[in-house]
Copies of this chain bind each other. A is one copy, B any other.
Amino acid sequence: MKWCRFQSGDSAAYGIIEGDSVIEVTGSPFDSYTKTSKSHPLSSVKLLVPVNPIPTFYAAGINYPEHVTWAAKMRGEEPKLPKKADVGYRAVNALIANEEPIMVPKDATEQVQYEGELVVVIGKTCKNVSQAEALDYVLGYTIGNDVSERTWQRGDRTMWRAKNTDTFKPMGPWIVTGLEPDDMHVTITLSGRVVGEYDISSALFGVREYISDMSKYLTLVPGDVLWMGTDGATENMKDGDTVEVEISDIGVLRNKVVWQR
């Protein structure tokens, strides 16, 4: 099943994508919903960020070995792989939908880079769940681009502006249910050129492990999102570039890059 959130007149509505159509629903995938008689061609609707509000915006951060190794090399350090699943946070101010532009602020350096990631959307409240039952609490999966200004990431004590400047968190285009995360493959292209590829299964800590470990301390609730981190090296994005993150069985998240000069 493929869920989207879209602009319907003056307000936002959830919809179910069937073929080339969006069936508008009342309610949401997180509680109860009813299909309405309204159907829209998918090509005619404006897709919104597929979950909103997001109670807590979690991010795995360091979770793929090649990315850790690459990032350490950039900093002239020895790579240190994390020994357990630690989580960070991102902020909803930075979210934009599929096809909305990434607006790079005037004072950013040229080191503004993509990170293509799997996003897990929590569907049910959970606390203290085992790895075996963890996926029962997932509504589905979408795609995220953890845009990062590397100079700020190195220089600031926290990653607040490096990772959370307005428009730095594209997420979408929709949420697909019933998938197995370890079967997914990620392909990242920059203006048509493939710049990164990896398997979700090469993560240091998988979706089941993250949810189980987090739920020992935290109550996860419907609408929480967990970004799973990226693998490999990343490159600078230039003014006018288009960045696409494709994940098999989910779709493509596409955003243009606009430098505010």
**Residues on A facing B (Cβ under 8 Å):** 53, 55-56, 58, 61-62, 82, 84, 86-94, 105, 127, 156-158, 160-161, 164-166, 214, 216-221
Of the candidates B84, B158, B165, the one whose C-beta lies within 8 Å of that of A87 is B158
Majority SS of interface residues in chain A?
loop
Q: In the complex, A82 Cα to B157 Cα: how many Å?
A: 8
- Known A-B contacts A164-B218, A166-B217, A166-B219; the reply to A158 vs B93 at CB < 8 A is no
User: Which residues from B are CB-within-8-Å of A220?
Assistant: 93
The answer to whether A62 touches B157, judged by C-beta atoms less than 8 angstroms apart, is yes
Question: Are B86 and A160 within 8 A (Cβ)?
Answer: yes
The answer to whether A56 and B86 touch (CB under 8 A), given A164-B218, A217-B165, is no
Tell me if A93 and B221 are in contact (CB < 8 A): yes
Among B55, B90, B161, B217, contact of A53 (Cβ-Cβ < 8 Å): B55
Contact partner of A89 (CB less than 8 A), chosen from B55, B86, B89, B219, is B89
The residue that A55 contacts in the complex, of B61, B92, B166, with Cβ under 8 A, is B92
Q: Report B-chain residues with C-beta under 8 Å of the C-beta of A84.
A: 156
Residue pair A157, B93 in contact (C-beta under 8 Å): no
Query: Chain B residues near A87 (CB, 8 Å)?
Result: 158, 160
Q: Given the known A-B contacts A164-B218, A166-B217, A217-B105, are A158 and B92 also in contact in the complex, defined by CB atoms under 8 Å?
A: no
Residues of chain B within 8 A (CB-CB) of A157 are 61-62, 82, 86
A-B contact pairs, 12 of them (CB 8 A): A53-B55, A58-B91, A61-B157, A84-B156, A86-B160, A88-B160, A89-B89, A89-B91, A94-B218, A160-B218, A165-B217, A166-B219
- Residue of B86, B164, B219 near A156 (CB, 8 A) is B86
